[in-house]
Structure 1
């Protein structure tokens, strides 16, 4: 079975605002599939849209965050955020946040492509260290390990399971970025130039 190629696109705040319904559908589907990304059930679609509108758009407008989305044709296949609004003593660091891949499109390299694009954007922003956290044992943890992220530690009882009151551990991970390779860079384009 062949699949359309995945394009990684950087969205401005205005572009993200126009795509709020699709972003909300993606987040809603991921949380209902068990993703531990800060939400618990019941998780209505309106709450998913409010997250993007109230928590992502303001730092995106202020320049403290980069929103990357994966498109497969016209379908929103996934997204990840690069947080670059760091304290003055951490200008070299960025954070990877909310890696989401449509549950129907998993295991096709979309998460890997999003993280590669995120790392490229981090380098372009002068960042040499990326940190992230993931629920211990989550589906994304092996992906991060395969991409070269190391475990700094595990915090027990860090977050609530999306479906139950059970508290789960989170794994704190990091990756020092090597210098940019002179090989062909990954094509990351803004959606306005992709039209």
Structure 2
């Protein structure tokens, strides 16, 4: 059974190893999430223990984690820190499902939980970016995200050999009646 939980800073400290294995597996499967091969497991662990932990601790990022029968299999972040003129906006970041656990609807469940967390946080606009043509792009579209534009040559691919384009997407959230 898939269970989605919001992790606090202590949860992340205790579960960083599991999230590192997910990130490591995704990068080695070709995910364009900011890392270049070779991508050692220690680099993935450091990402969660430093960069993300500080943001979760400060309340700038909500971390949602998917478990399948108690095993951590996926995650997504909702970045809620924004400039003063954008208090209504949050960003979806690092939607990751371990390659061994895909095709079970986990990514969709994580995204729905992130949308609800955004609504609960008073946000009315979600933004994200994804590698153009990636398998996540149709997922986001199926959840109501619209394409704002494409930036060619945005980032290096996971091998560091060529540049990939990125697609920026957004979704207006329906306010929950008071």
Matched with 1:129 is 125
Query: Could you list the per-position Cα deviations for residues 107-155 of structure 1 after superposition, in whole angstroms to 9, with x for gaps in the alignment?
Result: 1110000000000000000000000000000010000000000000000
Matched with 2:64 is 68
Instruction: Report the RMSD for the aligned CA atoms in angstroms.
Output: 1.2
Query: Could you list the per-position Cα deviations for residues 79-119 of structure 1 after superposition, in whole angstroms to 9, with x for gaps in the alignment?
Result: 00000000000000000000000111111110000000000
Q: Which one of the candidate residues 56, 62, 66 is aligned to 2:52?
A: 56
In structure 2, what is the Cα distance between the partners aligned to 1:181 and 1:36?
37
In structure 2, what is the Cα distance between the partners aligned to 1:42 and 1:171?
25
Matched with 2:140 is 144
How many equivalent pairs are there? Answer: 178
Q: What TM-score, normalized to structure 1?
A: 0.89
Q: Which one of the candidate residues 28, 37, 44 is aligned to 1:41?
A: 37
In structure 2, what is the Cα distance between the partners aligned to 1:77 and 1:53?
18
Matched with 1:153 is 149
The 4+ residue runs of structure 1 with deviation greater than 3 A are none
Shift of residue 48, structure 1, vs aligned partner: 0.2
Report whether the alignment pairs 1:99 with 2:130.
Answer: no
Report whether the alignment pairs 1:178 with 2:165.
Answer: no
Most deviating of 130-139 and 172-181: 172-181
Q: What TM-score, normalized to structure 2?
A: 0.98
Matched with 1:189 is none
SS at match of 2:63: strand
Matched with 1:23 is 19
Report whether the alignment pairs 1:78 with 2:74.
Answer: yes
Which structure 1 segments of 5+ residues have no match?
183-195
SS at match of 2:161: coil
Which structure 2 segments of 5+ residues have no match?
none
